[in-house]
Amino acid sequence: MSLQLPAQRLRDGRPILAIPVGLGRNELALTRLKGLRTAPGFRVGSDGVRERYLEGFYKEEGRLYLVASWEPGVALEEVLERGAQEALPYLRRLAQALVALGERRPEALATDAVRFLEDGAVELLSPEVMRQARSLQPEEHRLRTFEALNHPDARSGHLSYCLAAMLYRLLAGDYPFAAASGEEIRRRARELRLAPLSLARAEVREEVSAAVMDGLGRGRGTPPSLERWAALLADWETHGLYRELPEKQARELAARARRAGEAAVRVYRFGVFWQRHWKTVLIAVAAAAAVGVFSGTVLRNLLKPRSTRGLPPLQVVETFYRSVNTLDHERMQDCVSGRAGRELINQVINVYVISRVNLGYEGRSLVRSAEEWDRAGRPPLTPPDSVFGLTDLAVEPLAGQAEPAFRVTYRRWTPDPERGTVSQEARERVFLRQQGGAWVIYRAEPEG
């Protein structure tokens, strides 16, 4: 048993529950711990929910402990060291206890803060106290008992994520986003794609895999509620977690899982690289693109007419803006002259080059067309996927102008390294004239 887990000790000949605080001398944290002695934990059993309070501090052989009254039981962390099938009744009891707590249930779980008592009750030590105690404990212990099973962006249904993460550990041998640091765990939980559990562990039943993946936010369904988890765990106690597969099929699934895992790591590593170096990449891409576009534009103008020759002014304007979604910067360039539309063209060039890099590196682009994404009903995006382009495009003539002019409104969607995808409404006025036998936008200006 880890020296950091709550355990029975004798104090003046009386058994107590000793909760290790650690050897740190963080006086501020210790002061806060003293102030939290009235923060309750809970004992959830057949007789209902009862509050549990700490009795104080206890020191032995230079180590500091928090003290609570003793009841025989086993810590959740110890349960997770057992076989998956053996652990199911305990996780079912935990899910049922969380349901019984209602609005008093904790926002997060820690495997050193939950104990299963011999009489069938579940003990949840005070979340506030354990949060402070955790700050004084070794990092390895914190990563194992808290960081690895909690999503960094706490949200509705977060406890479902915790249960799914623990089941994943039981079935796959470790937490889904385990890493050597809290920062890396949090980044993986947000961004790393995950092969279905039934693919990574072929013997796991599809139903079990689907529930775990949904709970982790990596499946096709919504995370199971706590009530649903309790029912599922009870069913799996009876019918088991595993299925029998022919050896050949098991080998094929294992190979697929390996390929999917390697692909997910490549995408993840590229996303991490992009987040860390996106400014440098964009500057380099913009510089290279500017040189290429400049020389290409000169040659094109010298050697061939504009591809928009023969189009009426309205169609030229629509072509310019709709080409954003297809990343056709050459077509956009044919629609303008001078510096008109240059900012939008340069942005399309940047995204086009990055998209080509993705295709060469991963075999697909991580940037989706805003038009296609909008047509599909704007489904949620899984980082590092993002959206670029225009939606809600509207073009209407401007009256009283000596030359063709139009008001253009749209919403622009842009990849953002920190926020995923951001959108902004835009209103512009564009003015056209004849040049080289074709209508071109020679002036574009924001309206209002």
State mean pLDDT over 407-421: 80
The pairs formed by 25-34 with CB atoms below 8 angstroms and a separation of 24 or more are 26/135, 26/136, 29/132, 29/135, 29/136, 30/64, 30/136, 32/132, 33/57, 33/66, 33/129, 33/132, 33/133
Average pLDDT over the chain, rounded to whole?
A: 81
Region 202-223: mean pLDDT is 90
Count of CB atoms within 10 A of residue 225's CB? 14
Give pLDDT tens digits for 335-373.
Answer: 998 889 888 888 888 788 777 766 655 556 677 888 888
For residues 91 and 201, which has the higher predicted lDDT (pLDDT)? 91
Q: Report the topology of domain 275-446.
A: Nuclear Transport Factor 2; Chain: A, (3.10.450)
Q: Which of 58-67, 240-249, 386-395 has the highest mean pLDDT?
A: 386-395
Neighbours of 10 (CB within 10 A): 11
Which has the minimum average pLDDT: 81-85, 95-99, 183-187, 293-297? Answer: 293-297
Residue ranges of the domains in the chain? 275-446
Asked if residue 29 has pLDDT above 60, the reply is no
pLDDT given at position 335 = 93
- Containing 291, the helix (H) or strand (E) segment is helix 247-303
Choose the weakest-confidence range: 274-278, 376-380, 434-438.
Answer: 274-278
Q: Residue 297's pLDDT is what?
A: 46
- The pLDDT assigned to 138 comes to 82
> What is the reported pLDDT for 359?
62
pLDDT of residue 189: 86
Q: How confident is the model at residue 19 (pLDDT cuts 50, 70, 90)?
A: confident
The pTM for the full model equals 0.58
